Structures are given as C-alpha cells and as structure tokens.
A = this chain, B = another copy of it.
Amino acid sequence: MDSCLKAGPSPSVNDSRRSRQEAMAQTRRDLVLRAVRQAVADGGVTNANVRDIAKRAGYTAGALYAYFPSKQALFEAVLADSLARAQAAAQSAKVAKGAPEGAFAARAQAWFAYFLAHPAEAHLLLHVLSSDGRGLGCVGEELATALMASLAPVTQALVVLGCSPMLLQRETMALLSMAMGVLLIHDPSKLSGTNALAVEALASYIESVQLRLVAAPEQPAQALAPEGFAQVDLFA
C-alpha cells in the first residue's frame, strides 16, 4: 500500500505496532508490579507467592511465568522500579539557593524518605539483600548496579562536599548501609514514634558525614582501626 511507503509525520504500521506493543508491555508491567507491592503490603514478603500475585494482576500463574520466570524476578522488577523512583526523588530534592553544600543532606534524605513512605518496598529491598546473607555482591549484577545508580544524585552531591574521587563509592555504600540498617532496626511502616527515630538516625548520620568531610575530605577513617581487627585483611 502507498500509505506504508510514504515518509512523513504519520507513523508506519510497523512503528504503530511497536508503540502498541510497548504500551501493552508497560501496562502489563505496571499491573504486575502493583500486584507484587500489594501482596507484600498485605501479607509480608515471606507470604507473597506467584499464584496470589498473578490473581491480583488478573493473570493465571502460568501466564505470569511467561513474563517473569520466578518470584525473585518479580521482586527484582519491583525493586528496579522503586530505585528509579527514589533516584528521581533525590534528584529533584529542593536545595537552598546559595547553599549547594546542602545538596548532600537534601538528596540523601529524599532518597531515604521514598522508602519510609513505601514500607512494602523497603521490606522487599531488605528481604532481597538479606535473603542469601552474602551482601550486595550476590543480589544480581543488575540490582546491585541499580542500587548504586539510584544513589547517583547523592554521589554527585558528595563531590560538592569535597569528597575525593577515591572515596566516592565508599561514602555512597556507607550511606546505603546506614539507610538499610535504619530501615532494618526501626519500623518503616509506623508513621510516628519509631519512624521519627529513623529520620533522626539518618539525619544524624548525614550531619556526621558532612562534619567529617569538611574536617578532612581526603582521608578515609583509617586511624581508628583497632587491634581487634588485626585478623582482618585491612585495606587490601
């Protein structure tokens, strides 16, 4: 048909088909990820199962497996989505004009606030990180990369604070550690009391990092490593 060959503003059938397929895939993904989040919020991470998630999303378990081969794949898809949202929250955190050094605190807290405001996603993140007990290195290359990428706005702000390039990744991972530890120790689903303590704990940490970086931006904290750590291969 002529219309198929014509170049111009109207898209080809192939383009339209691709757009439709992408829109359908995105809708399906949104439906499924929402179902996972609801299942986790309602029954906890441990009780969430593919059959229940499929039902909530309007699929049979078999159909869902065609798109997500395992519960782990479902969880990781939700987490990739959460991390993108937390990153966007950090990136768009308000920083007072004329005080760019405030960006570290503002962005780090906005990132953390995302997970405080979405406790089911926080639980999921903690669950995936702790399930094999082997740290960030074993949660899957993709998720580990997504986690660090999610904190990129914070890493950029650390540069403004004078953090040396050598220490950027370490400071970012230390912040991630503190944020995860605070979520683990405090209950992110309580919107007062304990949660206020979680906010304060992270705010204290951020203030501490600022003080330390301003005091000695180029130095890692090596001086304090005590005799008790002698058996550990320090600074390898």
Q: Mark A207-223, 1 if CB is under 8 A from B, else 0.
A: 11101100100001111
User: Given A174-B201, A221-B203: A192 and B233 within 8 A (CB)?
Assistant: yes
**A197 CB to nearest chain B CB (Å):** 7
> Which residues of chain B are within 8 angstroms of A122 by Cβ–Cβ distance?
133
> Which residues of chain B are within 8 angstroms of A176 by Cβ–Cβ distance?
181, 185
Residue pair A226, B105 in contact (C-beta under 8 Å): yes
> Which residues of chain B are within 8 angstroms of A130 by Cβ–Cβ distance?
123, 126-127, 129-130, 184
Q: Mark A160-201, 1 if CB is under 8 A from B, else 0.
A: 000000000011011011111111111111111111110111
> Which residues of chain B are within 8 angstroms of A184 by Cβ–Cβ distance?
126, 129-130, 135, 177, 180-181, 184
Which of the candidate stretches A7-15, A25-33, A110-118 sits at the interface with the other chain?
Answer: A110-118
Chain B residue at smallest Cβ distance from A214: B211
> Which residues of chain B are within 8 angstroms of A127 by Cβ–Cβ distance?
130, 133
**Number of chain copies forming the complex:** 2
Residue pair A185, B133 in contact (C-beta under 8 Å): no
- Measured in the bound complex, the distance between the Cα atoms of B134 and A193 in whole Å is 13
Residue pair B44, A185 in contact (C-beta under 8 Å): no
Residue of B129, B204, B224, B232 near A191 (CB, 8 A) is B232
Closest 4 A/B residue pairs (Cβ): A181-B181, A208-B208, A123-B133, A135-B187
What would 18 more interface pairs be, CB under 8 Å, given A109-B228, A203-B221, A205-B208? A94-B228, A109-B225, A109-B229, A110-B226, A113-B229, A116-B232, A119-B133, A123-B130, A126-B133, A127-B133, A133-B188, A134-B189, A177-B181, A196-B236, A203-B224, A205-B205, A208-B212, A211-B212
